[in-house]
Structure 1
């Protein structure tokens, strides 16, 4: 018996993977197997488990853990929740710098937003995330536009008097200065608000517009580049849990996140095409911003939302200027 115990102990010590299993919960607000954010999370899980089979995951779509969207960030900070696909600007009250991830007009396309990866700005955002108890594993950017019931949106003057939902306080500030009436709603409340004539239009991602079936109420929509609405939905992990991983485990998580990010990028062109096709077939009119309309929005955003962002913290002005410089450098290199 003693010999058997010694042999078992030696086997455990020599095992290439730790025997103790680890389980991670991943929470998010989107539909399972339909939205690319859920599918990319499953790609991440598959890639980790292919390399570390002793680690298991439970994905909880559509906020099935019964916590509100914003509460996921609190749960990440405390370590109660391991991971989340999280709309970064939702945490702007705790880290004002995160509003950069949806600042109106800043990113005219998803490709422009992706230029931030591995830049000084992304390093600074990672440091801010770490200081706030989370770690960014992957940057997932989604494009979106306007969907409205009663008026086509072109320049800033065309939103006057409309009740609009943007999902961000700085975006709301800009819309309000343009004469719109900002409405604070979650994405899963948009359909019922339009149906009840409590909302004239909204800005959100292409996939959310389709999954929430807003084409049943929409008469007009915008899509394509140039756009004034881009939103970062990164894959986050609790910093305390990230710190508890071994160096080898972190490397696996990062490699899996890179593969999932590449997968996610490939889904977004299809998401835009599906959005345009679905809404057009439902009878809605498609409008793509002209260069003049985009520049009008950009100038208006700089006078309103950007100006407010500058004043949020000692670091926001320099971060915004770094983003602009990064995009100029990227454009010059192409």
Structure 2
């Protein structure tokens, strides 16, 4: 009798272990703090999947604790990383077409960004991702602006001679066309570069300006507004495609449902980030400058002569991709 009870208990333990063995853990990497909107998007997906109770857990490694910011796409494509929230233009070296996702003046506002995410243009980019065994779970764009350590930057002539940081190749080309000197780095490195005198100007997203406390290092901020936003960057939550396809039907469904909820949150919160960042900079005593429609037109004209032109020349299907993007109203 005793032996039978022992056997039953052992069987129960083995069943429990078998169940545990079937539970899948996915690793998600990003470069931001847990206050940042991009972390919150990742957390929504993780929480929703956990609530679905499908033996799937997403473990988030934030603040560049697992991979360096610009080194996440390659391990993702190789299956060494399961998921990441990544500015896609960071992977422009591997796929030059991705440089179009941070093209000056291409995106008009947040709703236009959302339409771009659901367009044939994005489908063409997703085909390129699929070639790298990568897929999009959550689409999202963030707007951004300029900061100056010692002066305001609104027009192209304001950046001449300054050591500046831009997030991607297209912006670097445009700023170089305005006679700025370019220093490439991830947004997480701007604070120290400003502090040590390596940079005296930068552009990045409104969210990064706040979460990295850039307001402590600058005298002037030129934010994105509803009417004038030169800087829009596609920053999706990506997943290794084979990893997704290896999950059960229930796990895939839970992930997709979580992603849908996170994407709706991302869009609504992204709209709030620009105005919220202005308040943070104002409260820190930073001067707020406004880019005029004439300033915007001057930047756009410069971008067309530099960034747009180079993109079409350097990317085999660049003109077709650019035309698809410009066709989205």
- Same fold at TM > 0.5: yes
Cα deviation code 1:136-181 (max 9, x no counterpart):
1111211110011122212212211111101212211110111111
Give the TM-score normalised by the residue count of structure 1. 0.89
TM-fit CA distance, 1:186: 2.3
Q: How far, CA to CA, are the matches of 1:52 and 1:301 in structure 2? A: 49
- Structure 1 match to 2:163: 163
Q: How far, CA to CA, are the matches of 1:294 and 1:112 in structure 2? A: 17
Deviates most, 48-57 or 139-148: 48-57
Question: What pairs up with 1:60-75 in 2 under 5 angstroms?
Answer: 60-65=61-66, 67-75=67-75
Q: Given that residues 25 and 60 in structure 1 are in contact (C-alpha distance below 8 angstroms), is that contact kept between their aligned partners in structure 2?
A: yes
TM-fit CA distance, 1:71: 2.0
Alpha-carbon RMSD across the aligned residues, in angstroms, is 2.1
Give the 3-state SS of the residue equivalent to 1:311 in structure 2. Answer: helix
Cα deviation code 1:210-247 (max 9, x no counterpart):
12221122111111131111111110111221221244
- Structure 1 match to 2:267: 265
Q: Given that residues 95 and 132 in structure 1 are in contact (C-alpha distance below 8 angstroms), is that contact kept between their aligned partners in structure 2?
A: no
- Structure 2 match to 1:25: 27
Cα deviation code 1:43-70 (max 9, x no counterpart):
11122222243111110001112x2122
- Structure 2 match to 1:119: 119
Give the 3-state SS of the residue equivalent to 1:153 in structure 2. Answer: coil
- Structure 2 match to 1:36: 37
- Structure 2 match to 1:197: 197
Question: What pairs up with 1:58-207 in 2 under 5 angstroms?
Answer: 58-65=59-66, 67-207=67-207
TM-fit CA distance, 1:248: 4.1
Deviates most, 270-279 or 125-134: 270-279
Give the TM-score normalised by the residue count of structure 2. 0.90
TM-fit CA distance, 1:265: 1.6
Q: How far, CA to CA, are the matches of 1:237 and 1:68 in structure 2? A: 17
The structure-2 alpha-carbon separation of the partners of 1:279 and 1:246, relative to structure 1 and needing over 3 Å to count, comes to: same
Structure 2 residue ranges without an equivalent (≥5): none
Q: Given that residues 145 and 229 in structure 2 are in contact (C-alpha distance below 8 angstroms), is that contact kept between their aligned partners in structure 1?
A: yes
Q: Given that residues 133 and 242 in structure 2 are in contact (C-alpha distance below 8 angstroms), is that contact kept between their aligned partners in structure 1?
A: yes
Question: What pairs up with 1:161-310 in 2 under 5 angstroms?
Answer: 161-223=161-223, 224-225=225-226, 226-310=228-312
TM-fit CA distance, 1:19: 7.5
Structure 1 residue ranges without an equivalent (≥5): 328-334
Size of the aligned set, in residue pairs, is: 315
- Structure 1 match to 2:317: 315
Q: How far, CA to CA, are the matches of 1:269 and 1:124 in structure 2? A: 26
Q: How far, CA to CA, are the matches of 1:84 and 1:41 in structure 2? A: 8
- Structure 2 match to 1:330: none
